[in-house]
């Protein structure tokens, strides 16, 4: 059974976009994934995104994706919302992934804007609608034009929100004005997909986060969220400012690279990366240690 949700928080409030642990020879590490998932939920996550960008989804096979969803569900599926990334730039492939994720038991779907082929807004609308029509699972859109090349325009978000299963948006657009209008004009649950903007997005109506830095600072993220929800703006701001070195340090290069390095420094399951991702250099690792320590992260 999936954890209890509400229309305002269909996937919980604090979710981490989880890395995919690999063994030393690059194979899928299902035991490590279960250990990491349990650690993240124990730390305060009420949701996990599996097979997203931080999970190296472009280099994880369809069969591995399904195995990973099942393993994480077995470990923590009764305590956290397990959202499976199914976004590709091929609608037919996304439909296959969505149906497989539903069969594996996922609680919801994350669908990124199709990348590289740069479809027009009508193409985005039809793509997301087709995915939402393909299963009975709730859908979280993922708007990240820096990766996809195309934003989901406000009008398109408002249209998509009319679909009964399109219930949320992960916002990595970096535009508080557009976010404000889309939140005001739709009933989508809004999740920050940009850790530096977690607190600002809460202030314009977001309900929670889909975080990368949650791998190392989930308790602080939850404390910031709770402070905001109870009206303690000063405390929320203090936590946000304390975490600034972490937000900066974890994104000096691609997030999965620094996240796996941080987890390795903590002795947690992560393993190597699959090309084209590469490990941090010694100098980059040293800088990451400085950044994390400045934000209070224990290594």
pLDDT in tens, 80-137: 999 999 999 999 999 999 999 999 999 999 999 999 999 999 999 999 999 999 999 9
What is the reported pLDDT for 4? Answer: 76
Please check if 60 is assigned to a binding site: no
| In a domain? residue 250 | no
What is the reported pLDDT for 148? Answer: 94
Please check if 76 is assigned to a binding site: no
**What's the pLDDT tens digit per position in 231-254?**
999 999 999 999 999 999 999 999
**What's the pLDDT tens digit per position in 126-177?**
999 999 999 999 999 999 999 999 999 999 999 999 999 999 999 999 999 9
pLDDT at 5 over 80: no
Give the residue among 94, 105, 104, 106 at the shortest CA–CA distance from 132: 94
Give the residue among 155, 157, 246 at the shortest CA–CA distance from 198: 246
| In a domain? residue 244 | no
SS3 of residue 22 by DSSP = strand
Q: How many CB atoms lie within 10 A of CB 173?
A: 20
* Average pLDDT rounded to a whole number, residues 56-73: 98
| In a domain? residue 168 | yes
| In a domain? residue 147 | yes
| In a domain? residue 69 | yes
Identify the active-site residue in 65, 142, 191, 260.
142
Identify the active-site residue in 65, 115, 170, 235.
170
Confidence category of residue 299, pLDDT binned at 50, 70, 90: confident
> What CATH code is carried by the domain that includes residue 188?
3.20.20.70
pLDDT at 1 over 70: no
- Which residue has tokens 């939402």? 132
Give the residue among 77, 151, 141, 89 at the shortest CA–CA distance from 110: 141
Q: What is the mean pLDDT of the chain?
A: 97
Distance CA 14, CA 11 (A): 9
Output the pTM of the full model: 0.97
What is the reported pLDDT for 222? Answer: 98
| In a domain? residue 99 | yes
The residue segments making up the domain with residue 189 are: 12-231
How many domains, in total, are found in the chain? Answer: 1
pLDDT at 25 over 70: yes
pLDDT at 7 over 80: no
CA atoms within 13 A of residue 268's CA, in its CB half-sphere: 21
CB 16 within 8 A of CB 95: no
Q: Find residue 79's DSSP bridge partners.
A: none
Q: How many CB atoms lie within 10 A of CB 284?
A: 16
Give the residue among 47, 80, 70, 60 at the shortest CA–CA distance from 20: 60
Strands (E) across the chain are located at 14-17, 47-50, 81-85, 108-112, 139-143, 166-171, 189-192, 208-211
289 is catalytic: no
| In a domain? residue 182 | yes
Burial class (CB in 10 A: 0-12, 13-18, 19+), 174: middle
| In a domain? residue 154 | yes
What is the reported pLDDT for 111? Answer: 98
Q: Find residue 10's DSSP bridge partners.
A: 12
Q: Find residue 15's DSSP bridge partners.
A: 47, 210
């Amino acid at each position: 059974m999936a954890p209890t949700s509400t229309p305002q928080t269909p996937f919980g409030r604090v979710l981490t976009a989880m890395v995919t642990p690999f063994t030393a020879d690059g194979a899928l590490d299902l035991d490590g994934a279960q250990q990491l998932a349990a650690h993240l939920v124990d730390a305060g996550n009420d949701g996990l995104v599996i097979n997203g960008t931080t999970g190296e989804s472009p280099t994880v096979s369809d069969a591995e994706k399904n195995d990973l969803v099942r393993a994480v569900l077995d470990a923590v599926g009764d305590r956290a919302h397990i959202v499976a990334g199914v976004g590709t730039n091929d609608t037919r492939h996304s439909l296959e992934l969505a149906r497989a994720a539903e069969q594996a038991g996922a609680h919801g779907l994350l669908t990124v804007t199709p990348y590289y082929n740069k479809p027009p807004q009508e193409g985005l609308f039809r793509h997301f609608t087709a995915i939402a029509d393909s299963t009975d699972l709730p859908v979280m859109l993922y708007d990240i034009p820096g990766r996809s090349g195309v934003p989901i325009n406000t009008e398109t978000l408002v249209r998509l929100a009319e679909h009964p299963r399109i219930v949320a948006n992960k916002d990595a657009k970096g535009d508080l004005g557009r976010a404000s209008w889309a939140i005001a004009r739709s009933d989508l649950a809004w999740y920050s997909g940009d850790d530096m903007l977690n607190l600002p997005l809460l202030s314009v109506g977001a309900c929670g986060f889909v975080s990368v830095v949650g791998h190392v600072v989930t308790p602080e993220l939850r404390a910031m969220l709770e402070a905001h929800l109870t009206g303690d703006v000063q405390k929320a701001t203090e936590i946000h400012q304390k975490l600034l070195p972490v937000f900066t340090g974890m994104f000096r290069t691609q997030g999965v690279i620094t996240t796996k390095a941080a987890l390795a420094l903590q002795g947690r399951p992560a393993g190597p990366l699959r090309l084209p991702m590469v490990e941090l250099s010694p100098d980059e690792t040293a800088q990451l240690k400085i950044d994390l320590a400045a934000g209070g992260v224990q290594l």
